[in-house]
Amino acid sequence: MTAALRLPGRVLVVDPAPGGLALPELDALHGLGLEPTVNLRRVADSGLRAEIAARWTTVDFDGFAEEQLACALESGGAGFDALKCRAGIPLTAAVLARATAAGLGRRLVLVGRAASGADTFDAGAADRLGVAIRTTPGANAAAVAELTLALVLDALRGVSRRSDALRAGRWGDAVDGLPTGSLAGARLGLIGSGAIARRVAELGRAFGAEVLVHGSPRFTAERAAGWPGRRVRTVEELLAACDVVSVHVPATAETRGLIGRERLRLMRPGSVLVNTARSSVVDEIALDRALRDPLSGPSRAAVDVFDEEGPGFASPLADNPFCTLSPHAAGMTRSAMEESSRRLVRAFAEFLGEAGPAGR
């Protein structure tokens, strides 16, 4: 059972909204009765850092480091009632246990992430310890869909690699492979049937693509009836039938390794695979090897998510000439991040309203 949140309360902001969105977000949290303590580690702008420091308590720690996160939540024994983040921080069972331990002035009861997923959070431990989790699914659907289509078009038309060749003075390499493929008249397969996949389907159809979709077991024929695409029953059927395949499923035990060596071999020669979902869904090593083998599945890929991200970025795809890389930026448009921030503050407000007298 989720515990009530006492007001006024304390909220640890692991990473505030970016740029000019940070102060309105912090003001909104303060307006709910939550006093922010702001981590400045990912705030690059010196002016913004100074302005935040002038108004709020600040700290500086690596939110991706489990021990540092746990120590920040304990905060000298004072503790926090709530946590807000954007990134996939390691909110493990051990971190949650320390943040809710007896002896802290305040125990953690609410965690919010301004993003759609929470796969780096131990949801089971949170439930056992009475910590509510709030996310913002769908807030960045349009942004992710836009980048997905951009990556699809780049893979088909070779925009980035032709630009690189021209900058290096290699006109011959720039025109090599012409004429290119086209989304018009192609079969676009979507693995996943959520808000992002639906928007990709709409955009794909606007380009003249035929859309096929494979969803979860809940994506029944009845639910697919009003969908902008044709439902297929299996992943294997979709992979074998499509010229372009785009992945849009969350990271779960069921989707881990969903696309590996054997399924990549089912894809059409010359086909394209795009992953803007989660790195665990597509085996990076298997994809790297498939792209380098002209007889094994896709010939081009575009990837926005990786097993090792941030300053320590590493991937077998990093030197693969047949793969376009993007730094997990699909949902990072100003409008999408503003909407995510707004929705998360609203979710916090709703939680406080449901908490009863202790939360008011």
Selected catalytic residue, list 86, 278, 300, 342 = 278
Q: Work out the end-to-end distance of the chain between its first and last CA atoms, rounded to an integer number of angstroms.
A: 19
- Confirm whether 214 is a catalytic residue: no
CB 239 within 8 A of CB 245: yes
> Do 200 and 190 touch, CB atoms closer than 8 A?
yes
Pairing of strands 272-275, 244-247: parallel
20 phi, psi to nearest 5 deg: -70, -5
Task: Give the distance, in angstroms, between the CA of residue 298 and the centroid of all CA atoms in the same chain.
Answer: 24
Is 309 part of the annotated catalytic residue set?
yes
Phi then psi dihedrals of residue 330, to 5 deg: -60, -40
278 among known catalytic residues = yes
Fill in the amino acid letter for 69. L
DSSP state of 101: -
Q: Going edge to edge, which strands form the sheet with 132-134?
A: 57-59, 34-39, 9-13, 82-85, 110-113, 132-134
Strand partners, 189: 212, 245
Q: Which of 35, 66, 210, 309 does the annotation list as catalytic?
A: 309
- Which of 296, 291, 259 has its CA nearest to residue 275? 259
Question: 3-state class of 133 per DSSP?
Answer: strand
Dihedral class, residue 7 (left if φ above 0, else alpha if ψ from -120 to 50, else beta): beta
Q: How far apart are CA 296 and CA 119, in angstroms?
A: 31
> Percentages helix, strand, coil for the chain, rounded to the nearest 5?
40, 15, 45
Quote the strand ranges of the chain, DSSP E.
9-13, 34-39, 57-59, 82-85, 110-113, 132-134, 187-191, 210-214, 230-231, 244-247, 272-275, 300-303, 323-325
* Residues labelled as active-site residues: 278, 309, 328
